[in-house]
């Protein structure tokens, strides 16, 4: 029934006087402990500062919602505790030619807030392609410079030297671990490239 106790300062008259800190329960059910349905919203604002109303959120997240479930039927009983488990699934746009490395999923700016001041490299190959089992970059390695991360639109922009015709390329970390790999060949590679990410609340 209780989402947490809220301790705040208010101008309320109590038995111990006015203008004092007080604590009350933040109840998310009806008075008998039942809850029939909920609205669940996942937001991408990571800079939220909790105020004295916690666990009640004061900020309006309407412009930052990237996934939501409306009117979800839970039919909670008084002796049950409502909890939410969620899963983030990383899926490339072209599953046959584009691959996400485990290093990207486990240690990256978006999931771990790992420092963006890390060395990244571009690998390209003129005769070898990647598969889902590959973990290291293949071919020739080039330095990547001017890396820009944006959590607002979820993108990575980087600059590299112009590279020749190739059949595959990959972005790797300082240990040559694959972050992204692609079998999309090209006659040349532009010096500036941006990779975008999209959030959605359905796997398909």
Residue 90 lies in a domain: no
End-to-end CA gap in the chain: 34
Looking at the structure, tell me whether residues 49 and 112 fall in a common domain.
no
110's enclosing H/E stretch is: helix 109-112
For residue 89, give Cα distances in angstroms to 32, 44, 169, 199.
Answer: 37, 16, 23, 10
20-27 and 168-172 as β-strands: parallel, antiparallel, unpaired? Answer: unpaired
* 71-105 pLDDT per residue, tens: 889 899 998 888 878 777 777 778 788 888 888 87
Residue 189 lies in a domain: yes
Looking at the structure, tell me whether residues 113 and 163 fall in a common domain.
yes
* 15-51 pLDDT per residue, tens: 656 666 777 788 888 888 899 998 887 776 666 667 7
Any idea what DSSP says for residue 167? S
% of the chain at pLDDT higher than 70? 75
Q: 28 with 36: CB under 8 angstroms?
A: no
What is the token pair recorded at 186?
């090209």
| Residue 167 domain boundaries | 98-196
Looking at the structure, tell me whether residues 186 and 120 fall in a common domain.
yes
Looking at the structure, tell me whether residues 71 and 10 fall in a common domain.
yes
pLDDT band at residue 10, thresholds of 50, 70 and 90?
Answer: low
Residue 84 lies in a domain: no
Q: Is the dihedral of CA 102, 105, 106, 108 positive or negative?
A: positive
**Long-range Cβ pairs for the range 67-73 (8 Å, 24+):** 67/41, 67/42, 67/199, 67/200, 67/201, 68/39, 68/40, 68/41, 68/42, 68/201, 69/39, 69/40, 69/201, 70/39, 71/37, 71/39, 72/37, 72/38, 72/39, 72/40, 73/36, 73/37
Number of structural domains the chain divides into = 2
* 189-200 pLDDT per residue, tens: 666 777 777 766
* Residues in contact with 61: Cβ distance below 8 Å, sequence separation at least 6, in sequence order: 41, 43, 45
Give pLDDT, residue 15.
Answer: 61
Q: 166 with 160: CB under 8 angstroms?
A: no
Looking at the structure, tell me whether residues 102 and 192 fall in a common domain.
yes
């Amino acid at each position: 029934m209780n989402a947490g106790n809220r301790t705040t300062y208010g101008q309320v008259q109590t038995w111990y006087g006015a203008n004092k800190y007080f604590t009350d329960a933040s109840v998310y059910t009806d008075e008998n402990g039942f809850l029939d349905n909920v609205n669940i919203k996942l937001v991408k604002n990571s800079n939220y500062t909790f105020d004295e109303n916690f666990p009640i959120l004061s900020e309006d997240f309407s412009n930052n919602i990237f996934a939501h479930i409306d009117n979800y039927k839970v039919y909670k009983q008084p002796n049950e505790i409502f909890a939410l488990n969620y899963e983030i699934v990383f899926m490339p746009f072209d599953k046959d030619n584009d691959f996400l490395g485990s290093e990207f999923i486990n240690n990256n700016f978006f999931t771990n807030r790992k420092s963006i001041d890390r060395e990244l490299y571009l690998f390209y190959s003129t005769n070898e392609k990647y598969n889902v089992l590959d973990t290291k970059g293949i071919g020739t390695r080039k330095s990547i410079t001017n890396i820009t991360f944006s959590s607002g639109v979820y993108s990575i922009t980087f600059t590299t030297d112009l590279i020749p015709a190739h059949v595959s390329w990959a972005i790797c970390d300082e240990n040559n671990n694959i972050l992204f790999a692609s079998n999309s060949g090209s006659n040349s590679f532009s010096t500036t490239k941006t990779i975008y990410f999209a959030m959605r609340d359905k796997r398909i």
